[in-house]
């Protein structure tokens, strides 16, 4: 849809004239506009290209008031009208800034908020539209297996990882993409703004973000172990209230490692071909961010090392080591810690 059509349709939905659209960037899958209402306020309009993402976001915004309030929706046009939370910095801003105290506080708040949301959601899956597994996970893990085969690297049981996570009994609600830039730091606290992949999935898929860190994000640096563990403890302390079994390290740690493997496989499949011939920036307008090659090699090395220390999933550890060997010619530096923690 063109911006003018989006604004016109949303005006009818809200029963008020909307003007002065400002494009907020969106993505290749959606158009996001900030518009002014006749009363002088602003709202956010989001037009989705994909039905699945529209249904997920509409359902997620209705399910929890943690994100923006859902004001109106048009199923036929896949258009969502939501509250404008305003201009605020996000968690990525503080992690990439120079204030260690603010970054640490933001990191712990982020983990605690998602842990509380997860615990609150347990047993409420019937309140959301039905979804079939995690299609993105199965699709990209299959592509990861194909990538390994093409490179002549022994292929582990990738399908088994997906099945284990799909059948995991510790299911929780998540907005889906909980990366730092999708979380505004407002006077009312941390507020997530992206619910395109909202739904229920294994608790470990979110828990792994604290350790990797940030499985699918563009702003990937190293987290000092102290801060990573602090974030993980904050998330875990909340979800244990709903799932007491997660207090047992014999349950928690293997689950987090399994989810980490799934995330690394997904991102490898998504990013490898983009940089097979030449490296590219992970974020086009942020030159200080590590490159895609740097991040991939960091993911493979750190995940393989974690699996080797634990004596788990040796075939995956070998596959990640195989990818490191196959890309030795890339010769990229190790990624540094987040700027906020360099002091």
Q: Flag the least confident range among 105-114, 133-142, 235-244.
A: 133-142
Structural domain boundaries, residue 73: 3-83
Q: Are residues 126 and 248 in the same domain?
A: yes
Structure tokens at 203: 């608790």
Query: Is 133 a residue whose pLDDT tops 60?
Result: no
Q: Are residues 70 and 153 in the same domain?
A: no
Mapping DSSP to helix (H, G, I), strand (E, B) and coil, where does residue 189 land?
A: strand
Write down the pLDDT at residue 201. Answer: 94
Confidence of residue 52 (pLDDT cuts 50, 70, 90): confident
Q: What percent of the chain has pLDDT over 90?
A: 85
Q: Are residues 147 and 246 in the same domain?
A: yes
Write down the pLDDT at residue 237. Answer: 98
Report the number of distinct structural domains present in the chain.
2
Mapping DSSP to helix (H, G, I), strand (E, B) and coil, where does residue 15 land?
A: coil
- Parallel, antiparallel, or unpaired for β 42-48 and 30-37? antiparallel
Query: CATH number for the domain including 10?
Result: 3.30.200.20
Q: Are residues 45 and 140 in the same domain?
A: no
Q: Are residues 99 and 67 in the same domain?
A: no
Q: Are residues 148 and 43 in the same domain?
A: no
Q: Are residues 34 and 132 in the same domain?
A: no
Give the residue with greater pLDDT, 84 vs 5. 84
Query: Is 79 a residue whose pLDDT tops 70?
Result: yes
Q: Are residues 78 and 131 in the same domain?
A: no
Query: CATH number for the domain including 270?
Result: 3.90.1200
Write down the pLDDT at residue 132. Answer: 41
Q: Are residues 139 and 278 in the same domain?
A: yes
| Contact residues for 320 (Cβ-Cβ < 8 A; gap 6+) | 264, 299, 300, 301, 303, 304, 307
Q: Are residues 128 and 221 in the same domain?
A: yes
- The torsion defined by the Cα of 207, 213, 219 and 224, in degrees rounded to 10, comes to 140
Q: Are residues 222 and 290 in the same domain?
A: yes
Query: Is 25 a residue whose pLDDT tops 80?
Result: no
Q: Are residues 163 and 259 in the same domain?
A: yes
pLDDT tens track for 262-306 = 999 999 999 999 999 999 999 888 888 999 999 999 999 999 999
């Amino acid at each position: 849809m063109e911006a003018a059509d989006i604004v016109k349709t949303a005006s009818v939905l809200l029963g008020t004239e909307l003007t002065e659209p400002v494009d907020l960037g969106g993505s290749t899958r959606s158009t996001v506009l900030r518009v002014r209402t006749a009363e002088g306020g602003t709202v956010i309009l989001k037009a989705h290209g994909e039905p699945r993402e529209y249904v997920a976001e509409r359902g997620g915004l209705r399910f929890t008031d943690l994100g923006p309030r859902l004001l109106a929706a048009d199923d036929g046009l896949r258009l969502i009208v939501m509250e404008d939370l305003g201009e605020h910095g996000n968690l990525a801003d503080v992690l990439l800034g120079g204030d260690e105290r603010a970054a640490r506080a933001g990191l712990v708040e982020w983990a605690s908020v998602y842990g509380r949301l997860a615990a609150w959601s347990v047993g409420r899956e019937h309140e959301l539209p039905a979804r079939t597994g995690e299609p993105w996970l199965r699709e990209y893990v299959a592509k990861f297996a194909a990538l390994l085969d093409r490179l002549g690297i022994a292929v582990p049981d990738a399908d088994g990882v997906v099945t284990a996570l799909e059948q995991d009994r510790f299911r929780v609600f998540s907005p889906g993409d909980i990366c730092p830039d999708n979380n505004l730091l407002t006077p009312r606290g941390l507020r997530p703004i992206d619910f395109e992949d909202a739904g229920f999935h294994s608790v470990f898929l979110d828990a792994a973000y604290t350790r990797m860190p940030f499985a699918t994000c563009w702003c990937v640096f190293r987290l000092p172990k102290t801060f990573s563990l602090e974030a993980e403890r904050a998330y875990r302390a909340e979800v244990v209230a709903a799932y007491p079994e997660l207090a047992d390290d014999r349950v928690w740690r293997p689950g987090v490692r399994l989810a980490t493997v799934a995330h690394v496989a997904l991102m490898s499949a998504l990013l490898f071909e983009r940089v097979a011939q030449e490296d590219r920036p992970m974020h086009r307008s942020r030159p200080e961010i590590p490159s895609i090659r740097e991040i991939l090699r960091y993911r493979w090395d750190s995940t393989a090392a974690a699996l080797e220390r634990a004596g788990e999933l040796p075939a995956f550890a070998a596959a990640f080591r195989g990818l490191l060997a196959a890309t030795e010619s890339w010769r990229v530096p190790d990624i540094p810690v987040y700027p906020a923690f360099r002091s």
